[in-house]
Structure 1
Protein backbone atom coordinates (compact mmCIF):
# COMPACT_ATOMS: atom_id res chain seq x y z
CA UNK A 1 0.00 0.00 0.00
CA UNK A 2 1.43 3.36 -0.97
CA UNK A 3 1.28 6.45 1.20
CA UNK A 4 -0.95 9.42 0.64
CA UNK A 5 0.03 11.41 -2.47
CA UNK A 6 2.76 9.08 -3.69
CA UNK A 7 2.78 6.51 -6.42
CA UNK A 8 4.95 3.42 -6.69
CA UNK A 9 6.42 4.66 -9.99
CA UNK A 10 7.89 7.79 -8.44
CA UNK A 11 9.35 6.00 -5.44
CA UNK A 12 11.29 3.42 -7.48
CA UNK A 13 12.43 5.63 -10.36
CA UNK A 14 15.99 6.92 -10.43
CA UNK A 15 16.26 10.70 -10.15
CA UNK A 16 18.83 12.80 -11.98
CA UNK A 17 21.53 14.25 -9.77
CA UNK A 18 21.05 18.01 -9.27
CA UNK A 19 24.77 18.70 -9.25
CA UNK A 20 25.10 17.00 -12.63
CA UNK A 21 22.47 19.33 -14.03
CA UNK A 22 24.18 22.34 -12.42
CA UNK A 23 27.55 21.32 -13.87
CA UNK A 24 26.10 20.90 -17.33
CA UNK A 25 24.29 24.24 -17.23
CA UNK A 26 27.39 26.07 -15.93
CA UNK A 27 29.48 24.45 -18.65
CA UNK A 28 27.10 25.40 -21.45
CA UNK A 29 26.61 28.99 -20.31
CA UNK A 30 30.32 29.32 -19.57
CA UNK A 31 31.20 28.75 -23.21
CA UNK A 32 29.58 32.09 -24.00
CA UNK A 33 29.66 34.17 -20.78
CA UNK A 34 31.95 34.36 -17.74
CA UNK A 35 33.97 31.29 -18.69
CA UNK A 36 36.64 31.98 -16.07
CA UNK A 37 34.00 31.73 -13.31
CA UNK A 38 31.57 29.16 -14.69
CA UNK A 39 34.27 26.80 -16.01
CA UNK A 40 35.67 25.87 -12.59
CA UNK A 41 32.15 25.66 -11.17
CA UNK A 42 31.17 23.21 -13.92
CA UNK A 43 34.26 21.10 -13.17
CA UNK A 44 33.56 21.06 -9.42
CA UNK A 45 29.84 20.32 -9.75
CA UNK A 46 30.51 17.63 -12.36
CA UNK A 47 33.23 15.95 -10.31
CA UNK A 48 31.09 15.86 -7.17
CA UNK A 49 28.17 14.49 -9.18
CA UNK A 50 30.42 11.80 -10.70
CA UNK A 51 31.50 10.77 -7.22
CA UNK A 52 27.89 10.66 -6.00
CA UNK A 53 26.66 8.62 -8.97
CA UNK A 54 29.58 6.17 -8.88
CA UNK A 55 27.74 3.85 -6.49
CA UNK A 56 24.60 3.83 -8.59
CA UNK A 57 22.87 6.46 -6.48
CA UNK A 58 20.85 8.24 -9.14
CA UNK A 59 21.15 9.17 -12.77
CA UNK A 60 23.01 11.94 -14.49
CA UNK A 61 26.45 10.39 -14.88
CA UNK A 62 26.60 11.43 -18.53
CA UNK A 63 25.56 14.99 -17.70
CA UNK A 64 28.23 15.12 -15.00
CA UNK A 65 30.90 14.01 -17.48
CA UNK A 66 29.68 16.59 -20.00
CA UNK A 67 29.84 19.28 -17.30
CA UNK A 68 33.46 18.43 -16.52
CA UNK A 69 34.42 18.42 -20.20
CA UNK A 70 32.62 21.71 -20.88
CA UNK A 71 34.25 23.25 -17.82
CA UNK A 72 37.67 22.34 -19.18
CA UNK A 73 36.69 23.75 -22.59
CA UNK A 74 35.57 26.97 -20.86
CA UNK A 75 38.98 27.42 -19.26
CA UNK A 76 40.82 26.61 -22.49
CA UNK A 77 38.73 29.22 -24.35
CA UNK A 78 39.50 31.78 -21.65
CA UNK A 79 43.26 31.20 -21.83
CA UNK A 80 43.25 31.25 -25.64
CA UNK A 81 41.37 34.57 -25.65
CA UNK A 82 43.75 35.91 -23.01
CA UNK A 83 46.79 34.90 -25.09
CA UNK A 84 45.32 36.46 -28.23
CA UNK A 85 44.57 39.69 -26.40
CA UNK A 86 48.07 39.81 -24.92
CA UNK A 87 49.73 39.20 -28.28
CA UNK A 88 47.71 42.03 -29.86
CA UNK A 89 48.81 44.61 -27.33
CA UNK A 90 46.00 44.20 -24.85
CA UNK A 91 42.44 45.38 -24.98
CA UNK A 92 43.11 48.72 -26.66
CA UNK A 93 40.67 49.98 -29.27
CA UNK A 94 42.05 52.16 -32.05
CA UNK A 95 39.66 54.57 -33.74
CA UNK A 96 40.66 56.30 -36.93
CA UNK A 97 44.14 56.30 -38.44
Structure 2
Protein backbone atom coordinates (compact mmCIF):
# COMPACT_ATOMS: atom_id res chain seq x y z
CA UNK A 1 0.00 0.00 0.00
CA UNK A 2 2.82 2.40 0.84
CA UNK A 3 4.49 1.72 -2.50
CA UNK A 4 1.35 2.92 -4.29
CA UNK A 5 1.69 6.39 -2.75
CA UNK A 6 5.34 6.83 -3.75
CA UNK A 7 4.79 6.32 -7.49
CA UNK A 8 5.43 9.37 -9.65
CA UNK A 9 2.64 10.98 -11.60
CA UNK A 10 3.12 11.20 -15.35
CA UNK A 11 3.85 14.76 -16.46
CA UNK A 12 2.31 13.93 -19.84
CA UNK A 13 -0.97 13.09 -18.08
CA UNK A 14 -1.07 16.41 -16.26
CA UNK A 15 -0.16 18.33 -19.42
CA UNK A 16 -2.81 16.44 -21.39
CA UNK A 17 -5.48 17.24 -18.82
CA UNK A 18 -4.55 20.93 -18.70
CA UNK A 19 -4.61 21.16 -22.50
CA UNK A 20 -7.94 19.33 -22.57
CA UNK A 21 -9.50 21.78 -20.14
CA UNK A 22 -8.07 24.78 -22.01
CA UNK A 23 -9.39 23.40 -25.30
CA UNK A 24 -12.94 23.72 -23.97
CA UNK A 25 -12.56 27.50 -23.85
CA UNK A 26 -13.87 28.89 -27.15
CA UNK A 27 -10.83 30.49 -28.82
CA UNK A 28 -11.31 29.58 -32.47
CA UNK A 29 -8.68 27.51 -34.24
CA UNK A 30 -6.42 27.67 -31.19
CA UNK A 31 -8.93 25.53 -29.28
CA UNK A 32 -8.87 22.88 -32.00
CA UNK A 33 -5.07 22.80 -31.99
CA UNK A 34 -4.94 22.54 -28.19
CA UNK A 35 -7.56 19.76 -28.28
CA UNK A 36 -5.39 17.76 -30.68
CA UNK A 37 -2.36 18.33 -28.45
CA UNK A 38 -4.42 17.17 -25.44
CA UNK A 39 -5.39 13.93 -27.18
CA UNK A 40 -1.81 13.23 -28.28
CA UNK A 41 -0.33 14.00 -24.84
CA UNK A 42 -2.96 11.86 -23.14
CA UNK A 43 -2.23 8.93 -25.43
CA UNK A 44 1.50 9.29 -24.72
CA UNK A 45 0.69 9.51 -20.99
CA UNK A 46 -1.31 6.27 -21.05
CA UNK A 47 1.67 4.50 -22.61
CA UNK A 48 4.06 6.15 -20.13
CA UNK A 49 1.88 5.11 -17.19
CA UNK A 50 1.60 1.54 -18.41
CA UNK A 51 5.31 1.10 -19.27
CA UNK A 52 6.87 2.95 -16.32
CA UNK A 53 4.41 2.06 -13.54
CA UNK A 54 3.34 5.65 -12.85
CA UNK A 55 0.18 7.29 -11.53
CA UNK A 56 -2.04 9.63 -13.53
CA UNK A 57 -4.36 7.41 -15.55
CA UNK A 58 -7.34 9.53 -14.49
CA UNK A 59 -5.60 12.72 -15.59
CA UNK A 60 -4.81 11.16 -18.97
CA UNK A 61 -8.39 10.00 -19.43
CA UNK A 62 -9.74 13.43 -18.48
CA UNK A 63 -7.43 15.11 -20.98
CA UNK A 64 -8.46 12.76 -23.75
CA UNK A 65 -12.18 13.14 -23.01
CA UNK A 66 -11.99 16.95 -22.85
CA UNK A 67 -10.00 17.07 -26.10
CA UNK A 68 -12.49 14.83 -27.90
CA UNK A 69 -15.44 16.83 -26.58
CA UNK A 70 -13.84 20.09 -27.76
CA UNK A 71 -13.27 18.71 -31.27
CA UNK A 72 -16.80 17.31 -31.48
CA UNK A 73 -18.28 20.65 -30.38
CA UNK A 74 -16.25 22.55 -32.99
CA UNK A 75 -17.24 20.09 -35.74
CA UNK A 76 -20.90 20.46 -34.77
CA UNK A 77 -20.56 24.25 -34.76
CA UNK A 78 -19.00 24.19 -38.22
CA UNK A 79 -21.79 21.93 -39.52
CA UNK A 80 -24.49 24.20 -38.07
CA UNK A 81 -22.91 27.34 -39.50
CA UNK A 82 -22.35 25.68 -42.90
CA UNK A 83 -25.93 24.49 -43.00
CA UNK A 84 -27.22 27.94 -42.09
CA UNK A 85 -25.11 29.60 -44.78
CA UNK A 86 -26.12 27.09 -47.45
CA UNK A 87 -29.81 27.37 -46.59
CA UNK A 88 -29.72 31.14 -47.26
CA UNK A 89 -27.76 30.83 -50.52
TM-score, length basis structure 2: 0.79
Higher gyration radius (CA): 1
Which residue number in structure 1 is paired with residue 15 of structure 2?
22
Point out the structure with the larger helix share.
2
Structure 2 CA distance for aligned equivalents of residues 61 and 16 of structure 1: 9
Give the number of equivalent residue pairs: 79
Structure 2 CA distance for aligned equivalents of residues 23 and 74 of structure 1: 13
Identify unmatched segments of 5+ residues in structure 1.
Answer: 1-11, 91-97
By relative contact order (CA 8 Å, sep 6+), the higher-ranking structure is 2
Structure 1 CA distance for aligned equivalents of residues 58 and 13 of structure 2: 8
Identify unmatched segments of 5+ residues in structure 2.
Answer: none
Structure 1 CA distance for aligned equivalents of residues 82 and 48 of structure 2: 40
2:42 is the counterpart of 1:49 = no
Structure 1 CA distance for aligned equivalents of residues 31 and 77 of structure 2: 11
CA RMSD of aligned residues (A): 1.8
Q: CA deviation at 1:51?
A: 0.4
Which 4+ stretches in 1 moved above 3 angstroms?
A: none
